[in-house]
């Protein structure tokens, strides 16, 4: 039986780095950080409490399309406040379903009340593809007989 990949597995491979900022940071400065760190979202923290997420999508929809200036606009005015979290035990299937239903691309990971990481839709897709490749390999091995024990005796006479 195959083990289902969990958020914990994803974090152990990609690491637990979380790039964050404060609600008072300007949109411009947040975008600069995102560019430097090559990430698509930042977790917004206020005294270690997650109060929002700021993503490229927030910028496109709430700043550019509304004609606002990113140089003076604080994140608190446009960040996504309803943050959806997952925990380390959630599976990739759980995450994919949640991301699809809620139309989101980033999920902060919490254990208890502590922020321990963040995963993206890309992380989830990569893990699902890896799982599927393993299933395909195992099925190919089964079909070709690669899993049969090596013996010159017919299967019926083995016990």
Closest CA to 75 of 16, 122, 34: 34
Q: Is residue 52 part of a domain?
A: yes
Residue 1 placed within a domain: no
User: Dihedral sign, CA of 133, 111, 83, 74?
Assistant: negative
Domain that holds residue 59: 7-147
Residue 4 has pLDDT above 90, yes or no: no
| Mean pLDDT on 60-65 | 90
Q: What is the pLDDT of residue 147?
A: 60
Position 80 in a domain: yes
* Within a domain: 153: no
User: What is the percent of the chain with per-residue pLDDT over 90, rounded to a whole number?
Assistant: 69
Count of domains observed in the chain:
1
What does pTM read for this prediction?
A: 0.80
47, 51, 119: which is closest to 83 by C-alpha?
A: 51
- Placement of tokens 């969990």 in the chain: 6
Q: What is the CATH number of the domain that holds 69?
A: 3.10.580.10
Predicted pLDDT of residue 158: 47
């Amino acid at each position: 039986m195959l083990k289902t990949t969990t958020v914990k597995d994803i974090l152990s491979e990609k690491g637990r780095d979380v790039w964050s900022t404060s609600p008072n940071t300007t949109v411009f400065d947040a975008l600069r950080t995102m560019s430097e760190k090559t990430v698509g979202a930042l977790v917004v923290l206020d005294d270690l409490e997650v109060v929002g997420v700021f993503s490229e999508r927030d910028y496109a929809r709430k700043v550019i399309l509304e004609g606002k200036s990113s140089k003076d606009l604080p994140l608190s005015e446009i960040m996504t406040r309803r943050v959806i979290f997952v925990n380390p035990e959630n599976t990739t299937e759980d995450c994919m379903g949640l991301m699809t239903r809620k139309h989101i691309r980033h999920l902060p990971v919490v254990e208890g009340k502590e922020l321990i990481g963040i995963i993206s839709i890309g992380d989830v897709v990569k893990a699902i593809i890896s799982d599927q490749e393993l299933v395909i390999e195992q099925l190919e091995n089964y079909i070709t007989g690669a899993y049969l024990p090596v013996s010159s005796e017919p299967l019926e006479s083995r016990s």
